[in-house]
Amino acid sequence: LAAIGVALGIFGWRTAATSRLAHVGIGLVLAGAMGNLWDRVFIGRVRDFLHLLPGWNLPFGLTWPGGSAEVWPWIFNLADVLLLVGLGLILLHMHRADRAAAAAVQDDVVS
């Protein structure tokens, strides 16, 4: 928990108050991490798996390359989805910030 507090402090210090994309991203990453940690500590295993559309099969006898005929055969963990979406938002924020900084430098050079 101390490491999370230190990371949040550094993150808050290094980002502007208007960086909503970065703040939502870090919130999603922390939500996913805390969800997985909660499950591991108090339940002993991760439990928030989703299996969408179980029992729904593809038409005409079609199958996926692995042999499954289900419409959505993949099972995934909701906390891991939050982690990945949060990291994607942070990367998008970083990309936008880099482009803005490069444009500012370019404007200074031209002026």
Q: How many CB atoms lie within 10 A of CB 83?
A: 19
In the residue annotation, 108 being an active-site residue is answered as no
Q: Which of 99, 92, 101 is nearest to 28 (CA)?
A: 92
Is 80 assigned a catalytic role? yes
> Which among 80, 98, 107, 108 is annotated as catalytic?
80
Q: Which residues contact 2 (CB under 8 A, 6 or more apart)?
A: none
DSSP 47-99: --EEE-STT-B-GGG---TTS--BSS--EEEHHHHHHHHHHHHHHHHHHHHHH
Which listed residue (48, 98, 107, 108) is catalytic? 48
Residues forming the active site: 48, 80
